[in-house]
Structures are given as C-alpha cells and as structure tokens.
Structure 1
Amino acid sequence: MSETATLLVVDDEPELREILSEYFDNQGLIVHTAASAEEARAVFSKKLPDVAILDIRMPGEDGISLARWIRDQHKDMGIIMLTTAGDVVDRVVGLEMGADDYVPKPFDLRELLARVKSVLRRRSETSKENKPAREGRMHFGICELDLAMHRLYDSEGNEKPITAMEFDLLKVFAEHPNRALNRDQLMELAHNKDWGVFDRSIDLRIMRLRRKIEPNPEKPEVIKTVRGIGYMYVTS
C-alpha cells in the first residue's frame, strides 16, 4: 500500500470499536468508526474509506443492508463482514450482497489485518478513474473483462459492478481456459491461500458471475459446471 489506507469500522459495541481503532491506527492506517448504519452514512458523506468493516448484527439497520447500499453507491469500496461464528446464513447473504470477505467473531486482530491488506491489494486497481481502451480486454459471454484495470463491461461498453473476488475468479478462468477446476483450485489460484472461505461461497460467486456474463444464466455456456469436479471456462 503506497498510500495510507482509510478504514471505517461499523459496530454497535463501543469496546470493539475502540480496540480496532487503536490497533489499526498502530498499524499505520487511518481509522474512522461508527456505531450504526446511520453514523456510517454520515462518514461516507465526508470521506470515502478504502475498506468498510461491518458488523452484520446491529440494532436498527443491519450490516447486510448497509453492505447492499455501499455496493450500490460505491462499487469500488472493499467490504469485510464481521459474522457470528458458525452462522453460515449470514456469510452467504453477506457474500451475495457483494462483500469481499468475512471474518467470524471472535477473531484474532492479526487475521483481520491480513484480510484488510488482502482486500486492499485486490482492489487497488479498481480505484483508477480513467476508463480503459478496448485493447487488452477479454470476452466473457456478453461482457468484456479488462484484466489490467480490473473492470467488466457489457456489450455496449457500460461498466458492470464487480467485486474484487469476482474479478479474481474471472482472471483465474481467463488464465486456465477449457480446463475443469475444482473449488480448492479456484480458491487457491484466486486468493493465494490467504482467504479461508467455506467452499460454497465459490458456488455463490459463480452464480453471481453467470447473471452478469451469460446470455442465459439458467443455461450457462461460458462458465460450465463439470459434474463431480467443479467449473470450466469455455472459450468460443
């Protein structure tokens, strides 16, 4: 990270906000905190953070609703969800809302820092504002992927929202065309072993990608399911 990254921690527990604020500050990061989704939006109106760390279980508007709003309004922002240990439903819904990662409570501060750095690294290219030229793009169904700029475009040249993890998966498929890859291979190749996700999250991300790139997501022809193995990117 060449520039000092800015984090926003949104959690209704004052003690946890204080601990995270002090810890990340000691790591050289700029930290803002909010006790609710309403306070978080007030922070957004003044300064957009690079990564938002959201507690899912909060009084009033929860972290999932806030994550949906962030992804709609600020597609390049990194999102890490803090979930209850063992709550698969929260993880699934959070990922479907476009979160980049999740960390179950209770967690080790060093692990959370590693996740933050990983999200920052993956999203570094998406912060560039200049729209890339068509040269260097790859076709994925009805879309084009720009590997250098980490952006996805539809057939009319309009940018389509894509999370860093979705980009990583498309990049893996682009580098391994017409080859069946299992979930472990996809996670290892896409995340360099630093993202300890449950393997069903791969299925959710594939489903989201199909909705964006397939002419008919119900009958995928670009990213096909290979029974008993995993998935394959089929080039035309």
Structure 2
Amino acid sequence: MNDLLTEVIEAHGGIGRWQELTRAQATLVSGGDLFAVKGLPQDATPRTMTVRLHEEHASVQPFGAPDQKTDFTPGRVRIEKLDGHVVAERKDPRTSFSGHTLETPWDPLDRAYFNGYALWTYLTTPFLLAMPGFTVTDIEPWGEGDEVWPGLRAAFPLRIASHSAHQDFYFGPDRLLRRHDYHVDVAGGFATAQYVHDYTEADGILLPTRRRAYRRDTDGRPLMDQVMVSIDLSHVRFS
C-alpha cells in the first residue's frame, strides 16, 4: 500500500477496525445550488442514509414521499415504497447522463443515482482507496493558509460509480482528509473542490460531518461565492 495512504487509513481508524464493520448509517441534510440548477431544489428535511461498506450499495429515506426510499447500485437505481414496491427503476443508469451539461435537468432517478454514489464515496473515504482495483499515486501537495497538504490521486475501477475516474484527496498534518477534488461527470464534468470539516468519531472511525463543494478554477482555487453542494451529517453509526 502507498505509504501516505497507510498513514491516512490509520488516522481515520485503521484498516483492522474497518474490516470488522459492514454498514454505515447517518442522518443527512443536504443542499446547494446544483440541485436548483437541475430543477430539483433540495429542502432541509433530515434523511437517513445507509450504505454498505465493502460493496457499492446505498439507500436514502425518505425520498420523494414519506413512504419511499432509494435503492442504489452502480448497475441499477430504484425508487421504492417501504414495503418493497418499485415506483421507478433505471438499469445501467450512468448511460442516461450522456450528453448532459451543467444545465441539463435531472429527473428523480438521476438525483437518486447521484446521491447514492456520492454518499457511498464520502462515507467510505479513505478506506475505499485500499479496495481491490484502485490505483493510488502521490501528487503535488496543496498549500492552504500556512499548511501544506500532501495529496493522493486515485484511479477508480470501472465497477465503482463515482464522480469521475480520477479524483484527488488532500490530507492535513494529522493525515485526516481536508479536501477532495473531482469532476462531476454526470453534470457536464465541471471541476469541483470539496472541503471537509468537523470530524467526529463513530464506532472507532473518524469522518467529517460537514462538506462544502465549490467549483474550482484552472489553478485549482475554489470559487467560494457559490456552494454547489452542502452536506451535513449527524448521528453517524457504523456496525
């Protein structure tokens, strides 16, 4: 394993503890301008997010109605009633984003797909980088204020749905994640810098509970006048 990744995983709770766990659940409040641009403005209703840790599977509840939830895997996304009745389903959902720009409207299944892969990525970072099929290399550090954050570039395997095939992760002196850079391929590929804050310890795992994603310029600087996506987590549990 890459030396920096080894330090990072240890700082976030250690691979031994991670391998003892199979599921994460958290209360989620999300927002940001991206959803309004897509024609699906997000309200501030708290929702329950559940993900499996060692396979890409996620669900958020409620979704669209009090008695509905999502069921996401890379190859299929559903909106279901709580009794299991399928309201809507899309197989091979990534193909539905072909030709999309930032302004292309989303339907509820597009939103469910984005939510599923994004929150799965966030709730499994940085441990997912040690999963089979990921390639991780050191990159130039990022300077932020009086700190210098070493970075890793991850090449994601095709079987994992996420923002983009290559993503960059930057870590503070304590080796906790500080910033996550990627392109949002399902929204025209705009470049994003996501800053993370307010760490909590949950069942032996450290993770940030506050995320703010901004567009970034060609020099990598965040455009702080517009929050594209905001995520606040609480009541995080691993089991």
TM-score normalised to structure 2 length: 0.27
Higher relative contact order (CA 8 A, sep 6+): 2
Larger CA Rg, structure 1 vs 2: 1
The structure where strand makes up a greater share of residues is 2
TM-score normalised to structure 1 length: 0.28
The structure where helix makes up a greater share of residues is 1
